[in-house]
Amino acid sequence: MLRIAIPNKGTLSGPATRMLREAGYAQRTDDRDLVCRDEANEVEFFYLRPRDIATYVGSGDLDLGITGRDLLVDAAIPAEEVLDLDFGAATFRFAAPAGTISKVEEIDGRRVATAYPGVVARYLDEHGLTASVVRLDGAVENAVRLGVADIVADVVSTGATLRQAGLAIVGEPILRSSAVLIRRVDAPAGGHQVDQLIRRLQGVLVARKYVMLAYDVRADLLERATALTPGIESPTISPLHREGWVAVQAMVTRAEMHRIMDELYDLGARAILVTDIHACRL
Ligand SMILES: Nc1ncnc2c1ncn2[C@@H]1O[C@H](COP(=O)(O)OP(=O)(O)OP(=O)(O)O)[C@@H](O)[C@H]1O
Ligand SMILES: O=P(O)(O)OC[C@H]1O[C@H](OP(=O)(O)OP(=O)(O)O)[C@H](O)[C@@H]1O
Ligand SMILES: [Mg+2]
């Protein structure tokens, strides 16, 4: 059985479970369950704190895990990203009371409060800065007003928490994070179940990102139409009963579909239809 760590709570928990369900795996039905065996796929899921997931995978006790890139970096263990899962996006940033620290270089010699000391230490090291890192568990935005630190380094999503605490962002993001599938660096080739998991998750990513576009167009406009819809490999062209017309099918990104539909219509294409992709293996 393949053993995989999944976040049991927090921001990444729901989306991770949904993605695995979409990929055809059994998931727990009760939030308090800590283990779920998927006999059919020969996989066992362990529900753990996202911060601990890197530890279990890094030690080799679990084969794979889903956690945040920032938590993986913070753990500084021998595990690596296998796949970016495209959810749980956040930046990791420095922030200080407006009008105090405005440039990253000014951090030198100051006190930085964070729940991610490993991420901060790596950044300071890479930028030749020295600062004393105050490790907190959460609610780090309070640290400056309580006098524990001069600057904080924390996860920023909407920025609302920072604003409410009267803090302003300092410098560029230290890290751009999202949920990732991780694996031990020197893990032996995982065999069939690992390959299958990766392929299925890639299938979910593609199904979420792309739609299937179909339309009819005059054959003499086909080159111009397919330039708008090149597809991933190549568009499918089928003959139509109507003389001089063809039907085209191609995948396009969800983000671009309306622009492409408008341009196809202007070109003379008709019966332009979009359908969702529920699953795929490319
Ligand atoms: N708005 C957000 N707040 C916190 N973490 C977020 C957010 N968006 C994405 N993440 C990511 O989620 C991971 C942190 O998850 P974790 O479960 O430890 O904290 P949480 O979601 O804040 O839960 P809690 O603090 O309630 O325990 C990190 O990888 C972080 O980058
Ligand atoms: O930019 P925002 O959308 O405001 O989100 C970011 C905030 O959310 C998280 O805090 P959380 O509520 O999880 O509390 P915690 O600090 O105790 O973990 C994170 O640590 C930031 O403080
Ligand atoms: Mg939190």
CATH number at residue 240: 3.30.70.120
The CATH number covering residue 15 comes to 3.40.190.10
Q: What is the pLDDT of residue 46?
A: 98
Q: Residue with the nearest Cα to atom 24 of ligand 1? A: 10
**How many domains does the chain contain in total?**
3
Instruction: Report the chain (282 residues): mean pLDDT per 10 consecutive residues.
Output: 97 98 97 96 97 96 97 96 98 96 94 98 96 96 95 97 95 97 86 92 97 98 98 95 97 98 98 96 88
Distance 62 CA to ligand 2 centre (A): 28
Q: Tell me, yes or no, whether 63 and 114 share the same domain.
A: no
Q: Tell me, yes or no, whether 118 and 134 share the same domain.
A: yes
Q: Tell me, yes or no, whether 266 and 227 share the same domain.
A: yes
In a domain, 228, yes or no: yes
In a domain, 202, yes or no: no
| ipTM of the shown complex | 0.97
In a domain, 196, yes or no: no
Predicted TM-score (pTM) of the model is: 0.94
In a domain, 281, yes or no: no
CA angle 210, 215, 218 (to 5 degrees): 140
Q: Tell me, yes or no, whether 183 and 67 share the same domain.
A: yes
Q: Tell me, yes or no, whether 13 and 61 share the same domain.
A: yes
Residues with CB under 6 A from ligand 1: 7, 9-12, 50-51, 68, 70-71, 88, 90, 138, 155, 157, 177
Q: Residue with the nearest Cα to atom 28 of ligand 1? A: 68
Tell me the C-alpha distance between 101 and 176, whole Å.
22
Q: Tell me, yes or no, whether 62 and 45 share the same domain.
A: yes
Q: Tell me, yes or no, whether 183 and 79 share the same domain.
A: yes
Q: What is the pLDDT of residue 264?
A: 98
Q: Which of 155, 188, 221 is the last residue of a domain?
A: 188
In a domain, 198, yes or no: no
Give residue 223's domain range: 211-276
Distance 95 CA to ligand 1 centre (A): 17
Distance 189 CA to ligand 2 centre (A): 37
Q: What is the pLDDT of residue 76?
A: 94
Q: Tell me, yes or no, whether 80 and 16 share the same domain.
A: yes
Q: Tell me, yes or no, whether 182 and 51 share the same domain.
A: yes
